[in-house]
Structure 1
């Protein structure tokens, strides 16, 4: 029984001071409507049922109206003293039970009882603007048994007829002093109840009526009866045990003076406080019969009947059987068995430690009637509110997500009607009230089942904010939504939550895609993001690519959210050299995208590019070769410091973890040379030997190829097999045609001094030179030389000054060749010097006034084989003799060279084209 759980969880009476015989200020009284309160007469009780249609979610108070029209607030103390009980059912509906012989009832012949109950209802706890109803109660009951004992939820009541038989001799003999103490009062007192004596194990205690009222007892009389009410925990109450069942008992004698007679009435009362046991399916309620405070001093007891009912309604035998109840009575006890869930009771939700459970509640009562030879007939009515232990309820969650409709659909249940959904949290949104949730994201509705239970259905689309999407495999994404449904149990307002995770596998994953490219300096990787990699992190090996790390590694990147673009230099960290073949070095860069939480590799991209050896081999014009040999993925344990050239004494000039660099002259370290297809090639090899082995496991054959006046992109490649691979490089045999100031050939005009001025027939001292080369075995020869009037060597008019390495016999001023003295330069064979006379061109009989340019085609020969190469042995050899020369050793290299502009002064000497 809850004294302050009234729909809105409190009883108004408890807000005011305890009242006993104190008037309550008058309130505005409204008409009573029978549809709002239902009244029933049930034996010695009247029951008022408040209709939930009106009183739901209101603050409610009760008061009793006395015969003078005054209202008395029914609080907890007044209810115990005057016989009122407020009962709340499992749905929060209120009932008021009224004892017909309670305070303020008007009685006629102890058979007709009238009373007015005032009910106040408001929507606020301060009871402002409250509506007040006065409900008339009128019931008849009788005949009364000599002694009637009632065990209500909040009080014990005993009413005894005044003309009861004398108290048993044995009982009086134990307390003779009670009479001695009371007798003097008989002579003077007015006819009334004037004293109660409580008998306890520690002794006895006498109280006047006013004292008993102050102690919480209710004492009053009717025309024919004496009534005593006491709470179960009254100070003078004692706990006694009868056949294992605890009882609360008050053993008292009430002394009543009637004229010159002093009557002592046994007003003992006893009520069980337990006796209920449970199995999984059955409630067993045991009421012992040998209740000593009620049956003391008697020997002959006759049982008249045992009846039972529910909610103050007695049940006939057929209803008891149809509901599955069982009532049994033997000489020791009355036993009532009630199936859990049977008709007459109700299930009620409850929350303990945040978990939902249910209890089964039922309010049975037993009416036991017996007769003894001392007190006559006793009617013992025991009302019991039984609530089974809490059983946790498994909450059913059904995930009926519809993938084609892109709709999460979950059903949560099965709840009793007293459970209400109040709000929801969807991912990070919430808690949202139901109207807010419906407006922002979700469809919510309830489903009621025929048995009164209900489910709640929550639906929301896949694109609801906060839905987590994770890539699984094979183009499938896992959609996950975390929902929390917030419930409350009414009317107690106990809250609990149901977390739900719903998932859906959807084949809509778009994986990131990458496009790679290369130039001669770097590898480029552009990753177009899909719809699964928003949180994936870029890694190279075990290094995460952050902005700072990218700068430290020398990379550059851009990330605009849809594309990630990386530029990685070809020799940067994490670029792996996998192989070397005829096209160049194969370098590979790998980028992984990893899941941040587990570090699992989700996808990786690799770009492989072949780089020409320009940065790995440098063929310098002065005959120096610089070779960069790097470690390969296939030989992870290679020690760069142990790399060597053909001449094993030639070791690296510098060593790093990634490789080694060699710097050597083309005439050293075992380098070989050959002519082939108008190129000259110097070759060497970088080797690596494992300890104890004679065959190299790493062989990188390097080559520098030279052309005159041109550059060629060359390749190299390694092979894991001992067979050599070739590393060609880029070389340039540069030529120059210079104009000397005189025939000493010590001083030449600089580029800034052109055009050079000469007068007609002045000598021009020209020198053709092979620049930069330090190879003493090379010799330069003039093939043809000619003059033009423009920088284009193929333009017209032209005039030959050297033909097939000889003078032009048609020229009246023939070319003069000069030898190069040994010691004057480092490599005399790299030079050719000759003199021509300054002239001008005649076209159609007219002299051209302008600039003259000189051009030569040259041949570079292998001077180490003079006997087999007539060009290298002589100065003037016809072209036809050179055409058939063997190319095994001395195949020549051709090139072209041109002079700067020569301007002629005015003198009358001309040459005709």
Structure 2
């Protein structure tokens, strides 16, 4: 007969933790001796739907549903956690009952159609002494045992050895009769009783009687309104003129329990067996008994009234289990494996110990989900919590405003909500959320929907700026509404093409904008230049996307170390920091340093380093015109010997298109910064003129140019400096329509 489950419930079981357990064979988590039974816990996943066989000296016996109830076994499948719990009574069939109780079982697992057998053996000694009468109300059978020492008149032997072969099919001496509410049934021999599913045995000087529930000879009744199943068996033997009779009564409460105000309530009559006073109660879950006082400290309720014992188990009791269920909503139910011992003492001071194993299940209870809106309007982020989600319920999918999203969310993805309205610098956003949840295990979905809104004041974005050795870094963390603004450098909108053209390093994704601006790239302004350091300032503007009106700006000024630089400003000044060491011999210090006009001397000198700052039209500067450009050139001189003067040529080149005025008035204006160069040279001393303010031309000896061997950081180029503003081109000194090629010209110094 195929194995059927005695009861199959889906549990969230925390009792069987593998921590600290010895793995006896593959898939076996634990084997324990309890007060009146032996227990095996098996990993369901590891054993692939296990089966059990009982083993004794006569052979092996498959433990099916019917055989388990008759022979004192119970099997519980805890499928959610993937466990099987097997219990065997100490008086179960095939148990060797010598000094202790020895159990032998085969665990059978099946993989790919192949069976594997594992032998499980254990010997137990009951930790508690036996009461004169003990009754066990298991989930699938009733069992009663009484001691065999019965008081007799003097001279009569108390020898019960004839009961030893009770289980043997050849025994005819002993008979049993059953009694129900109305009549005494005809007696039958023990072989007939065994064929009906009853078991009688003698072990450890105790007479044992066991029966499955629902036998024809048992009957149901009510005691104080509580359903009770009773089987009343009397075994007897006629030996000569003496009749020996043993009364075996098993009575068990069949109350299924009820749920009320957060408690699972279970009732049993207090007087199932005669008692001189109140019965003693100890109870617990999952086979662990504690005394009444200790149980009450854990939240259990035990009350007596009208000869009834009422047990209350809190819904969140430790050792209880819960399970979610989806059906047009989310529901939950709780499961409790109640273990209760009830002890009574009769008028002869004989003790009866009654033990119950009961699986109690609450009705389906609604599990009310709720949402908590913690949207941060300032950050522009919806944050919505879904609360009271049972731990065995999973979110499988999510829709936001009708768009499907992967679960769990990826931090790499963002979602911009549709703008509903934008008035008076405020924006209304609405988020419709559709949660799809399922109970595990299971496939039936439950949909939970909620809508949240946020009225958001829209403010321009703001950059974080930081100084680096080589420039300034800007960072902008995007908000969902930052698309309402444009970022610009001056009048030019910041784009990847602009950044590449100007030498910026730009990283832009859906989360943030990172902009690294190296020194001396377009957009900087410089102040307080000395041979030691100088200030560099860079400005980023935020403009309204629709009107291009500048709303806010981020201005960052940093202090940088000065090495060699040349700055060609938009207002017509050249600022140069040069290191003459490239044209000097090692250790040599220059003297009499000046520009082409010897009256123009450095603002600062530090060894071989000099600082000049002068208007482009002054200090003897030479102006050179070429196609599309104008170059202002001057020279830094120092006397090297009586015949040779060495130095450096410094020059600023401007595109003609960016110059607003040129030569018509003595004012320099450009909407673009110039490009500068510092070029070492050597020329005869006689070629160095003494300039006056009226000189127009000078004969200059051929110039020897050599590339400086400067060891400068890469962020100090010799060209592009200082941001300027674009204006209309004006070249008043040119005759319109002429095709004359501009030649190098000298202009007065100013």
TM-score by length of 2: 0.49
**Bigger CA radius of gyration:** 1
TM-score by length of 1: 0.41
Query: Relative contact order (alpha carbons < 8 A, sep ≥ 6): 1 or 2 greater?
Result: 2
